[in-house]
Amino acid sequence: MFASKGIYIKNHSEIELMRESALLVGATLAEVSKHIKFGVKTKELDMIAEDFIYSHNAIPTFKGYNGFPASLCISINEVIIHGIPGEREIKEGDVISIDCGVTLNGWVGDSAYTFATKGISEEAKKLLQCTKNSLYAGINKCILGQRVGDVGAEIQNYCESFGYGVVREFCGHGVGKKMHEKPDVPNYGKKGSGIKFCEGMVIAVEPMITMGKKDVMIEKDEWTCRTVDMSIAAHFEHDVAITINTPDVLSNFEQIEIVIKQNDNLELV
């Protein structure tokens, strides 16, 4: 059903279907992370993801979305989001954000994880740690009585306390039968502002944080978004259902991080 302002409220059964979709995203990212090796092309990782998604009777949500040509967004180093897989090869020291969406039984799961290859700098590790911590700080505000602005303020205040930039042009969002539903969930804001959370809302919380300035630019392909100052960026994302109790995180990083520990080309930070 719809709440005010066009927000789709999900019932328990629908949230459980969304959990299946979100968990499949995590499984897909875990499968992809097995193949992150130095020299592998990003288009090869995309093919692995696409085959895995189809083999689980799901559809890669990103492919064809507003003309996007791939199943994954693979964004390396200064690229924040929407990197198009292609001929670029993974190298030692790369920071690799992989965003994935699947549609299973009519419901969308959408999650992202930033991977650290062996050889990344200590400064880059700190950025990834901060961004991931800010994700959970924001999620902790996804409770009844809080507002969208409380999530953004928590993420912004945490990340800016380390001197990092918080991207303004892109944000989290509602998710459900469509990948992007209302409301928008910015990673910055003012406490007590914005739409109030109610039971049955499902949102994607996704901080996009830069090591330098917050300013971004879009490349000529009209998708790739990178930092203007070429500083490294990180991006983590979870799908979260609002319940009468604690935030219900539908997506999962556990499988991904098990694989990271087993992959000699990656570091868990």
Q: What CATH number is associated with residue 105?
A: 3.90.230.10
Local confidence pLDDT in tens for the 269 residues of the chain: 666 678 999 999 999 999 999 999 999 999 999 999 999 999 999 999 999 999 999 999 999 999 999 999 999 999 999 999 999 999 999 999 999 999 999 999 999 999 999 999 999 999 999 999 999 999 999 999 999 999 999 999 999 999 999 999 999 999 999 999 999 999 999 999 999 999 999 999 999 999 999 999 999 999 999 999 999 999 999 999 999 989 999 999 999 999 999 999 999 99
Range of the domain at 252: 4-267
pTM recorded for the entire structure = 0.97
**8 Å CB contact between 111 and 26:** yes
Domains of the chain: total: 1
